[in-house]
A = this chain, B = another copy of it.
């Protein structure tokens, strides 16, 4: 039996908890959170505490809190001889420095409150300072996910950067599109099938082959018309830069 203590009560902690819960060999024996409100979600299901001094001895402590707080909470953990891991894409393993046995348990996914996630589909990237701890993290990871990779801090940083490009930036594009439709009294809903298909297409073709649109075709007339239609200079700048970059990528003369 692997005894787990979760440090944090946000989306990552909740989704991890729900993934661990049905596993016979994994036991979340405690959840730590600063505020009683954050612990509400967990309190009928396991022990909870707001006092670091009250932490139970466990096989592994999984820190699921915001990046800037990892360093501080790591310092404050009362144990020094136990495995401590964090779940951040961008923070190096050295942030857990006071702990000899440290590791990373990074799920590459966007988690939202109230949105159910099939954890089996979430790729996990693992790192540990000691081989036996890496083995333990792998066995925990494989219990909840179909995709478990070893990745060093350098690779993990790159994954996090790539995630910004496939999640944060596209989502911002969705916001811009929503505004554009609202200008003409059209509902954002009509774009959802296209958004889904854009993602699903990658099952059968590379993004390089899936690229379409006026920039890909070098259709200067449409590119000009579109730029003029964008009244917000912020948006026309984005349109221009991305279109130019796509044209360069495909060797289309500007």
Interface residues of A (CB under 8 A from B): 66-68, 90, 108-110, 112, 114-115, 117, 121-123, 147, 149, 151, 154-155, 157-159, 161-178, 180-181, 183-186, 188, 190-208, 210-217, 219, 222, 225-226, 229-230, 234, 237-239, 241-242, 245-246, 248-249
Contacts and interface: CB of A to CB of B under 8 A. Distances in A.
A215 to B, nearest CB: 7
Nearest to A149: B190
Given A158-B229, A170-B170, A198-B199, A207 B190 contact: no
A199 B202 contact: no
A164 B214 contact: yes
A191 B202 CA distance: 10
A169 to B, nearest CB: 5
B219 A67 contact: yes
B180 A169 contact: no
A168 to B, nearest CB: 3
Contacts of A222: 67, 90
Contacts of A238: 241-242, 245
Contact of A212 (B122, B168, B208, B230): B168
A20 to B, nearest CB: 19
Contact of A164 (B193, B199, B205, B213): B213
Contacts of A237: 241
Contacts of A195: 166-167, 170, 199, 202
Contact of A193 (B123, B168, B204, B217): B123
